[in-house]
């Protein structure tokens, strides 16, 4: 039984990485937005639909960057453990991707991290949610969860790379 949740900063490549993993592992792919959850629609902490989904689905790849802030707690909410894949991408590339699509979730994403990690960010300087997510993951969360870290750029040679990116209208960047 494989239960995988793909995490990372918003716009870090979790979508394409999730598609590639689901393809390679022959698992069904789900997106947090399909389950009514994303940074742009988040009402601080209502992740019950995702928990219900994960508790009632035996095998899946779930693309869920909005859950990144809760990574170290997710398995405590579930009947069976999931494995996390964390997508690492250059911070400037993430910001450029956000600008390219006019991403509107920064305010809510930053507020979510500020709320959940206020104790952690006390003496740290963060310019945005990219810094917050990476600091929280690298400085605290990743040592607490079973995970695999993957590099966004490593997927550029995957057969789905061009097909999937063309399908969502972004082509080569």
For residue 161, what pLDDT is reported? 84
Closest CA to 70 of 55, 97, 48: 48
Q: Which pLDDT score, from 0 to 100, does residue 167 have?
A: 54
pLDDT tens profile 23-59:
999 999 999 888 877 655 444 456 788 889 999 999 9
CATH class of 3-167: alpha beta
Q: In the chain, where are the structural domains located?
A: 3-167
Cα end-to-end span (Å), the chain: 35
Q: Which residue shows structure tokens 């009514």? A: 36
Q: How far apart are CA 90 and CA 73, in angstroms?
A: 26
* pLDDT the model gives residue 15: 93
pTM to 2 decimals? 0.89
pLDDT tens digits for range 56-106? 999 999 999 988 999 999 999 999 999 999 999 999 999 999 999 999 989
Alpha carbons 39 and 64: distance in angstroms, whole number? 10
- With beta carbons less than 8 A apart as the criterion, state whether 30 and 63 touch: yes
Backbone angles phi, psi at 56, to 5 degrees: -110, 10
63-83 CB burial, b ≥16 within 10 A, e <16: bbbbbbbbbbebbeeeeeebe
Sorted by sequence, the CB contacts under 8 Å of residue 39 that are 6+ apart come out as: 10, 65, 66, 105, 108, 109, 112
Give the per-residue pLDDT at 22. 96
């Amino acid at each position: 039984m494989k239960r995988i949740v793909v995490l990372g900063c918003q716009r870090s490549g979790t979508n394409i990485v999730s598609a590639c993993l689901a393809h390679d592992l022959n698992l069904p792919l789900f997106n947090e937005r399909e389950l009514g959850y994303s940074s742009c629609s988040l009402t601080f902490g209502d992740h019950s639909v995702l928990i219900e989904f994960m508790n009632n689905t035996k095998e899946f790849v779930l693309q869920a960057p909005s859950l990144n802030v809760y990574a170290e707690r997710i398995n405590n909410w579930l009947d069976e453990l999931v494995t996390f894949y964390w997508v690492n991408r250059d911070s400037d590339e993430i910001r450029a991707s956000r600008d390219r699509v006019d991403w509107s979730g920064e305010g809510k994403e930053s507020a979510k991290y500020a709320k959940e990690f206020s104790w952690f960010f006390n003496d740290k300087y963060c310019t945005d949610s990219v810094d917050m997510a990476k600091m929280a993951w690298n400085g605290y969360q990743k040592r607490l969860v079973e995970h695999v870290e993957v590099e966004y750029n490593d997927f550029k040679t995957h057969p789905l790379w061009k097909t999937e990116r063309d399908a969502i209208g972004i082509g080569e960047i």
